[in-house]
Chains A and B, each alone.
Chain A
Amino acid sequence: MKTINIKQPLEKKSLKTRANFGYLSNVPNNTNSYNPQRLINKKEQKFKERLINLIKEVYSEDEIYQQTYNSKEEIIRRILKAFDESQIKYQLSDEQIKKAIRSMLALELIIGIAPEDG
């Protein structure tokens, strides 16, 4: 049977102890580091890594992507920024993301391609 030091308020106990005593209903028993914000950040970070890998994959599909007006670094920054605000990014499949990246790169490709008159 589990015991608890009643002299110390339960609120001051560790998350793990509080979870063991059912104080936090939605905290898994096996954690002592429950932090929703950290989980969100972790999810964000994981998505960012996935996105960067997919960008690299798309870049390697066609050498033409090396011929953009803006640098690769700048384009990647723009892509990351755009996905950062997407509300459905976690629901997108790899293929859907790659399709979006291809169209983004295609738009970057046409920047500055028409020589000016004169």
Chain B
Amino acid sequence: MLKAKNAKERKMYLLDTNIISFLVKENKTREKEEDKIKEERIVYEVFKLKAQNAIIRIPITSYYEIRRHIIRKNALKQLNKLEKLCQEYELLYLNDLEIMNIASDIWAALMNNGRPIGKEGNADMDIITAAIAIHNNLTVLTNDPDFNTIREIYPAKQFLFKIIT
């Protein structure tokens, strides 16, 4: 579990994969006003937290999601940008069995309560992100309302998230 030197003063967050996925997409519709507004709002929320000296981390699952698109399209010049991101935001690894225990508990609880999330109940990335956050006492920054469902079905006390709409 993560322990910041001055964790009492500095709030700690985890950037959800959905936020990163939205930002990294070379969205041809980004020219649309609504996408531009959404992008600005997301970036602003993160910037605001950084201006408050908050600690923000990125789950290793997000790294995977960005990198696989870059590799698939052979856009290798973009890799150094990803590298820069990893320098500035510490990556959180799946380095503890407890994370996957929490994740599988969440998945089972969702299924057993008839509340699967994602397309055809396939939202492993969200579930793993929630598990990483719970394990490390981090607040998830997300734009995905599915986290409300996770919170309802798996009411871990330390599971906090902030939805950026």
Residues in chain A within 8 A of chain B (CB atoms):
62, 64, 67, 78-79, 81-83, 85-89, 92, 96, 100, 102-104, 106-117
Q: How far, in Å, is B58 (CB) from chain A's closest CB? A: 10
Q: Are A107's CB and B53's CB within 8 A?
A: no
* Whole-angstrom CA separation of A117 from B66 in the bound complex: 13
The stretch of B72-80, B97-105, B151-159 in contact with A is: B72-80
Top 5 A-B pairs, shortest CB-CB distance: A82-B47, A114-B69, A106-B88, A86-B51, A115-B73
- Additional A-B contacts beyond A78-B47, A114-B78 (16; CB < 8 A): A62-B84, A67-B81, A82-B48, A82-B51, A83-B51, A86-B51, A87-B52, A92-B53, A100-B50, A100-B51, A104-B50, A106-B88, A110-B23, A110-B81, A114-B69, A114-B73
Interface residues of B in 57-115 (CB under 8 A from A): 66, 69-70, 72-73, 75, 78, 80-82, 84-85, 87-89
Interface residues of B in 37-62 (CB under 8 A from A): 39-40, 43-44, 46-48, 50-53, 56
Residues in chain B within 8 A of chain A (CB atoms):
20, 23-28, 30, 39-40, 43-44, 46-48, 50-53, 56, 66, 69-70, 72-73, 75, 78, 80-82, 84-85, 87-89
Q: How far, in Å, is A9 (CB) from chain B's closest CB? A: 46
Q: Are B47's CB and A109's CB within 8 A?
A: no
Q: Are B23's CB and A111's CB within 8 A?
A: yes
- Which chain B residues lie closer than 8 Å to A78 at the CB level? 40, 43-44, 47
Q: Are B25's CB and A116's CB within 8 A?
A: yes
In the complex, the chain A residue whose C-beta lies closest to that of B87 is A106
* Whole-angstrom CA separation of A60 from B151 in the bound complex: 44
- Which chain A residues lie closer than 8 Å to B84 at the CB level? 62, 64, 106, 109
* Whole-angstrom CA separation of A112 from B66 in the bound complex: 10
* Whole-angstrom CA separation of A117 from B27 in the bound complex: 10
Out of B24, B52, B85, name the residue touching A112 (CB < 8 Å).
B24
Q: Which of B39, B50, B89 has the most CB of A within 10 A?
A: B50
In the complex, the chain B residue whose C-beta lies closest to that of A114 is B69
- Which chain A residues lie closer than 8 Å to B24 at the CB level? 110-114
Q: How far, in Å, is A102 (CB) from chain B's closest CB? A: 5
Q: Are A114's CB and B66's CB within 8 A?
A: yes
- Which chain A residues lie closer than 8 Å to B40 at the CB level? 78
In the complex, the chain B residue whose C-beta lies closest to that of A103 is B88
Q: Are B53's CB and A103's CB within 8 A?
A: no
* Whole-angstrom CA separation of A115 from B48 in the bound complex: 28
Q: Are A108's CB and B43's CB within 8 A?
A: yes
In the complex, the chain B residue whose C-beta lies closest to that of A102 is B88
Q: List 30 A-B contacts (CB under 8 A).
A: A64-B84, A67-B81, A78-B40, A78-B47, A82-B44, A87-B52, A89-B51, A96-B53, A100-B50, A100-B53, A102-B88, A103-B50, A103-B88, A106-B84, A106-B87, A107-B23, A107-B47, A108-B43, A110-B20, A110-B23, A110-B66, A110-B81, A111-B39, A112-B30, A113-B26, A113-B70, A113-B81, A114-B66, A115-B73, A115-B75
